[in-house]
């Protein structure tokens, strides 16, 4: 009996005008960031933090995420190519066979690099605004997974980062890839990140006084990269050299984030509890 798999053949371009392409990935990327900023606006009001600082944080965060994600992809997955094509690292173009360049958009962003870029930008933001770095990363931790969810939906629209072939009833046939039913790994990650966001936001709303000092940052980053680590087991390798590796690049890069996240969770719980004890005397 033939299973009715989901045949996925979405054109990644929403519109193309005179060679300029507006892609679904870009819409989801920016849409996710805007939604995160909207939620952070409510959080900043709840924390009695000036909304002018949110504007500064948004600028720093967007620049940090983008630069980190771009550099992460180029340096982690294909450094030799981009060292030989430095313009393609900096600009959304690709060299043609005739020696010219064509506009392609940025064909590669790495979540691990984006995380490093975001953390770096948060440190710079805290230095500029004199806001507590622990409190700043905590607030970002509440919404971070939601942004990741939208990025993975963008990957789904691009029919990229596909899973291994499978016969599960919910398999996707990525027509632009091949005609094999595959795990919709992008959707797995999107759902996982949405669940993580719901959890962190619920804990923030209900237990904020007892969960501080980096707890939300640690919880979010550890759960995001734990999910990434295990979902990688059903993903196709992204670059050829990973075929010989027991764990792929994404998994190896996830391990430090998981460890750092757990450290922040433990530290946040202990420091908040210690502060509660000291305040009771």
> Where are the strands (E) in the chain, listed by range?
6-8, 13-17, 20-23, 93-95, 101-103, 172-174, 181-182
User: pLDDT band at residue 3, thresholds of 50, 70 and 90?
Assistant: low
What is the arithmetic mean of pLDDT over 153-174? 93
Q: How far is Cα of residue 21 from the mean position of the Cα atoms in its chain?
A: 23
Q: Evaluate if residue 279 carries a pLDDT over 70.
A: no
What integer pLDDT is reported at residue 2 of this predicted model?
47
List beta partners, residue 95.
101
User: pLDDT band at residue 83, thresholds of 50, 70 and 90?
Assistant: confident
CB contact set of 245 (below 8 Å; sequence gap of 6+): 252
* 226-249: pLDDT as tens digits: 999 999 999 998 777 778 888 888
Q: Evaluate if residue 17 carries a pLDDT over 80.
A: no
Q: Evaluate if residue 121 carries a pLDDT over 60.
A: yes
| Of the candidate ranges 4-18, 97-111, 237-251, the one whose mean pLDDT is the lowest | 97-111
| Residue located via tokens 């360049």 | 101
CA distances for 115 relative to 73, 112, 130, 137, angstroms: 12, 5, 22, 11
CA distance 70 to 223: 23
Q: How far is Cα of residue 251 from the mean position of the Cα atoms in its chain?
A: 14
* 176-232: pLDDT as tens digits: 988 899 999 999 999 999 999 999 999 999 999 889 999 999 999 999 999 999 999
What is the arithmetic mean of pLDDT over 247-265? 93
What is the average pLDDT value for the chain, to the nearest integer?
88
CA distance 246 to 234: 13
| Of the candidate ranges 55-64, 74-83, 113-122, the one whose mean pLDDT is the lowest | 74-83
Return the closest-CA partner of residue 70 out of 58, 56, 52, 86: 86
Residue burial 219-240, b: 16+ Cβ < 10 Å; e: rest: bbbbbbbbbbbebbebbbebee
Start-to-end C-alpha separation, the chain: 71
């Amino acid at each position: 009996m033939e299973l009715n798999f989901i045949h996925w053949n979405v054109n990644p371009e929403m519109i193309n005008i005179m060679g300029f392409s507006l892609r679904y990935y870009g819409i989801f990327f920016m849409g996710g960031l805007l939604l995160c900023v909207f939620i952070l606006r409510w959080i900043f009001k709840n924390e009695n933090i000036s909304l002018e600082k949110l504007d500064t944080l948004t600028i720093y965060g967007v620049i940090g995420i983008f630069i980190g994600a771009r550099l992460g992809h180029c340096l982690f997955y294909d450094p030799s190519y981009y060292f030989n094509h430095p313009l393609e690292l900096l600009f959304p173009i690709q060299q043609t066979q005739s020696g010219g360049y064509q506009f392609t958009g940025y064909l590669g962003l790495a979540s691990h690099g984006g995380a490093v870029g975001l953390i770096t930008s948060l440190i710079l933001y805290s230095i500029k605004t004199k806001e507590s770095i622990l409190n700043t990363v905590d607030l970002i931790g509440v919404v971070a997974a939601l942004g990741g969810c939208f990025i993975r939906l963008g990957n789904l629209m691009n029919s990229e980062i596909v899973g291994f072939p499978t016969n599960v009833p919910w398999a996707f046939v990525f027509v632009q890839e091949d005609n094999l039913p595959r795990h919709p790994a992008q959707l797995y990650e999107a759902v996982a990140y949405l669940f993580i966001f719901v959890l962190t936001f619920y804990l923030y709303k209900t237990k904020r006084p007892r969960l501080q000092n980096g707890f939300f940052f640690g919880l979010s980053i550890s759960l995001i990269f734990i999910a990434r680590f295990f979902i990688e087991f059903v993903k196709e390798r992204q670059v050829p050299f990973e075929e010989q590796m027991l764990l792929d690049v994404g998994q190896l890069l996830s391990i430090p984030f998981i460890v750092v996240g757990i450290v922040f969770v433990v530290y946040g719980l202990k420091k908040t509890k210690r502060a509660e004890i000291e305040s009771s005397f």
